[in-house]
């Protein structure tokens, strides 16, 4: 390969890395018609840096236990966001407090815009994720243990103790990681996914579809 070709290849790679699109912070961003006056941004507008205060960079949002009793699966997730921690805007991270009751379950779900690292603060958890070859990676965590969930892959957290609650703290690599429960995303959509599709996909009958929808509140 000639020197000119090498330089051209280097330039193309460099430009692609430098001007690649930023990761989206919402599920979609529909283009506004030309001349539209309403403006949406990928994130949130910034205040004048001269007006920044220490309070913008601290929060007590994760200091209180979440109400796991209000959730039939026995879990509660409390997130930092730009409302309770405005200084996190544009930093590409989120923190979460995960409270799980005895035998509670954070069901299989994904974060389409983030990887996640979880540290178990109290209790005993069984955690795991499934890769794109359907291989399950699972581990029982003790207090102080950490586990990483790769971006976009289905994962879960289950409290092995039938009585004692568990507490975990997670960090996610997006300002708005998103969360999609596999069961709800399949059976409680509005409008509903046609029954014939669900019956064929899960090898179940129409009564099963109706029962699962009802159980999930769909």
Q: State the pLDDT at residue 176.
A: 93
Give the H or E element holding residue 171: strand 166-172
The reply to whether 79 and 145 lie within a common domain is yes
17 inside domain: no
CA–CA separation, 209 and 180 (whole Å)? 20
130 and 106, same structural domain?
Answer: yes
Within a domain: 41:
no
Query: What is the DSSP code (8-state) at residue 68?
Result: G
Whether 67 and 123 map to the same domain: the answer is: yes
Do both 168 and 210 map to the same domain? no
Query: In this structure, what CATH number is given to the domain that contains residue 81?
Result: 2.60.120.10
Q: How far apart are CA 88 and CA 105, in angstroms?
A: 29
Mark whether 172 and 197 lie in a shared domain. Answer: no
Query: Structural domain of residue 83, as residue ranges?
Result: 50-178
Q: Per-residue pLDDT for the chain (218 aa), expressed as one digit of tens each? A: 666 666 665 655 555 555 556 777 878 776 666 666 566 777 788 888 889 999 999 999 999 999 999 999 999 999 999 999 999 998 889 999 999 999 999 999 999 999 999 999 999 999 999 999 999 999 999 999 999 999 999 999 999 999 999 999 999 999 999 999 999 999 999 999 999 999 999 999 999 999 999 999 88
Distance between CA atoms of 40 and 32, rounded to whole angstroms?
9
Cβ atoms within 10 Å of 146's Cβ, excluding its own: 15
Radius of gyration of the chain (CA): 22
d(CA 139, CA 66): 24
Same-domain check for residues 85 and 193: no
**pLDDT at residue 32, as a whole number:** 65
Domain count, the chain: 2
pTM of the model: 0.84
Q: Are residues 153 and 198 in the same domain?
A: no
Same-domain check for residues 149 and 206: no
């Amino acid at each position: 390969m000639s020197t000119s070709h090498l330089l051209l290849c280097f330039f193309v790679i460099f430009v692609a890395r430098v001007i690649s699109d930023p990761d989206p912070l919402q599920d979609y961003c529909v283009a506004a018609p030309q001349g539209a006056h309403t403006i949406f941004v990928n994130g949130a507008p910034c205040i004048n840096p001269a007006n920044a205060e220490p309070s913008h960079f601290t929060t007590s949002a994760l200091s209180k236990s979440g109400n796991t009793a209000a959730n039939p699966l026995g879990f509660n997730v409390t997130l930092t966001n730009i409302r309770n921690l405005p200084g996190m805007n544009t930093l590409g991270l989120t923190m979460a407090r995960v409270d799980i009751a005895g035998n509670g379950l954070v069901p299989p779900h994904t974060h389409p815009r983030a990887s996640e690292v979880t540290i178990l603060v109290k209790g005993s958890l069984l955690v795991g994720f499934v890769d794109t070859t359907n291989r399950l990676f699972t581990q029982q965590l003790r207090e102080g243990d950490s586990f990483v969930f790769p971006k976009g892959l289905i994962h879960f957290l289950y409290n092995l103790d039938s009585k004692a609650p568990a507490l975990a703290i997670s960090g996610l690599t997006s300002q708005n990681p998103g969360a999609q429960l596999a069961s709800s995303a399949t059976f409680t959509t509005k409008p509903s996914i046609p029954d014939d599709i669900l019956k064929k996909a899960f090898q179940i009958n129409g009564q099963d579809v109706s029962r699962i929808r009802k159980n999930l509140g769909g």
